[in-house]
Amino acid sequence: MKIVKLSSSQFDKFASSHIYRNYFQSSMYANVMSKFGYKTNYIGIVNEYNKLVGATLIIYKEVFMKYKIAYAPRGILFNYENKEAIDELVDKLKNVLGKQGFMLLRIDPYIPLTIRNKEGNIININNKGTEIINNLRKAGFSYKGKNLYFETEKPRWEALILLQKNKEEIFAKLDKRTRNKIRRSMNSGIDVVKDETKSVNKLYQFAGKKDKKPLSFYKQMVLSFESSIDVYYAKINTEKFVITSRRNYEKEVEYNGMLAEKVQDMNLDEKERNIYLNKKMTSDKLITSYKNSLLVATELLKNNPNGIVIGGVMVIKYDNAAYIFSEGIDEEYGYLNAIDLMRWKLINDYNDAGLKYLNLNAIVGEFEKKNKYSGLNESKLGFNAIVTEYIGEFDIILNNFSYNLYTKFKK
């Protein structure tokens, strides 16, 4: 086995057909990271017959006396089931990269450990998952463990929606609350449109602070991934918002009047009148809500007659699937549920395009105990999403002397 340097085209050719392929392991992603302080290398692993049997993109920075820490995002692309091959690979990495000034290499292979339903119950398991983890640990990798939250470089848990189905069937299987949010968003005059110019300025306003990335990062993503990137925006049609708000208000006022008559109808027994009274109290609250909505809608129309953008999403298409890379909304209009309608639009468009699934990106692995990410999980899993749990993150020290020196100075 030998470690060799690959060109970007050699790497892409191998990576695009590997079982663990993903867009992080691509020259497109390397081009992005190279613009933001990282250096990049493409490493190949060849066997005794000089055949390429593994490869990885590594991104790295010099952190201490020209010594470097490297990361293989969602890599290395290799057969982890062969313990002897893993052992030999580690020896070669230490020998080659260690001498090149690399102190540590971090990997988080794109290998599913389990597939779960939206309740977190296991519906499929990778029978080789535990073996792969043990092979890496025995070879000298330190394992970050089966973390539940966001303790690692990339999320260990993701939610995805299976496509290539009838859209009515997909919608019917969404959580009732999710269906209601989508309907409410539609009735509030929200339009979701694909931005053919792929402008990310507005998206950055909604998602930049959360993602902790500069505007230039979003622009570079569009330049590097080109036709593989889609950008969508949610926009309030303010005229439609006024019309629907007025319609909802007037309809509820009419319904409330009917309930008032029933409450005062002495021909009904007390139990029946109490039922109508409870309904009227609920209706009273709705009238107040619809009235406030109408006032807001009227003011928005006055100030924004051409509409107002309140949310955006960036999607990467790769390997016959779509991946939400970044999404965000204007929190001032969060009650309009634009995030749910944007996801529903993506489901429709990518289902029509024949893609296999839509990856909604990160969730957490805690499905029972209430936590600060429970809302995130509920929002995504409400789309009847299934959950992929990956094996996790591993570190290997490539040069003990320099790494020990680095950790001492770092303290």
The one-character DSSP state at 229 is: E
The average confidence (pLDDT) of the chain is 95
Segment 336-358, tens digit of pLDDT: 999 999 999 999 999 999 999 99
Report residue 288's pLDDT band, with 50, 70 and 90 as the boundaries.
very high
Same fold, 2-108+393-410 and 164-237+307-355: yes
- Find out whether the peptide bond into 391 is cis, omega within 30 degrees of 0: no
The pLDDT tens digits of the residues spanning 224-239 come to 999 999 999 999 999 9
Q: For residues 245 and 292, is the Cβ–Cβ distance under 8 A?
A: no
Would you call 65 exposed, middle or buried from its count of C-beta atoms within 10 A (0-12, 13-18, 19+)?
exposed
Structure tokens at 288: 């107040």
Give the pLDDT band of residue 210 (cuts 50, 70, 90).
confident
Domain 2-108+393-410 in CATH 3.40.630.30? The answer is: yes
Predicted TM-score (pTM) of this structure: 0.91
Q: Alpha helix (H) ranges present in 226-267?
A: 238-263
The pLDDT of residue 39: 97
Q: What is the DSSP string of 82-107?
A: -HHHHHHHHHHHHHHHHHTTEEEEEE
Through-space distance between the first and last CA atoms of the chain, rounded to whole angstroms: 37
β-pairing, 357-362 vs 321-329, is parallel
From the CB of residue 257, how many other CB atoms can be counted at a distance below 10 Å?
Answer: 12
Q: Which residues pair with 389 in a beta bridge?
A: 114, 157
Residue 103 Cα distances to 153, 154, 186, 319, 400, angstroms? 18, 21, 53, 33, 7
Phi, psi of 77 (to 5 degrees): -85, 100
Question: Average pLDDT, stretch 7-28?
Answer: 97
* DSSP letter assigned to residue 77: B
318: tokens are: 């790769």
Q: Residue 186: CB partners within 8 Å, gap ≥ 6?
A: 341
Which helix or strand (DSSP H or E) is residue 316 part of? strand 308-318
CA-wise closest residue to 24 among 48, 40, 4: 40
Q: Is the pLDDT of residue 411 over 80?
A: no
> In sequence order, which residues have a C-beta less than 8 Å from that of residue 20 and are 6 or more positions away?
74, 75, 77, 109, 110, 111
pLDDT digits (tens, 9 = 90+) for 353-391: 999 999 999 999 999 999 999 999 999 999 999 999 999
User: What is the DSSP pairing of strand 122-125 with strand 142-143?
Assistant: unpaired
In the structure, what pLDDT confidence band is assigned to residue 144 with cuts at 50, 70 and 90?
Answer: very high
Structure tokens at 180: 């209601």
Q: List the chain domain ranges.
A: 2-108+393-410, 164-237+307-355, 239-303
Flag whether pLDDT at 49 surpasses 80: yes
* Rounded distance between C-alpha atoms, residue 398 and residue 404, angstroms: 11
Reported as a pLDDT band with limits 50, 70 and 90, residue 269 is confident
Which pLDDT value is given to residue 5?
96
AA letter at 220: Q
Q: Which CATH architecture has domain 164-237+307-355?
A: 3-Layer(aba) Sandwich (3.40)
Element (H, E) at 60: strand 52-64
Alpha helices for 150-232 (secondary structure H): 167-172, 176-187, 201-211, 215-225
The amino acid present at 23, given as its one-letter code, is: Y
**326 closest CA partner among 142, 169, 198:** 198
Query: What angle do the packed helices 176-187 and 338-352 form, to 10 degrees?
Result: 100
- Alpha carbon distance 218, 204 (integer Å): 7
Residue by residue, DSSP assigns 338-362 as: HHHHHHHHHHHHHHHTT-SEEEEEE
Reduced to 3 states (helix: H, G, I; strand: E, B; else coil), residue 56 is: strand
Residues of the chain with pLDDT > 70, as a percent, come to 100
Distance, C-alpha 287 to centroid of its chain: 37
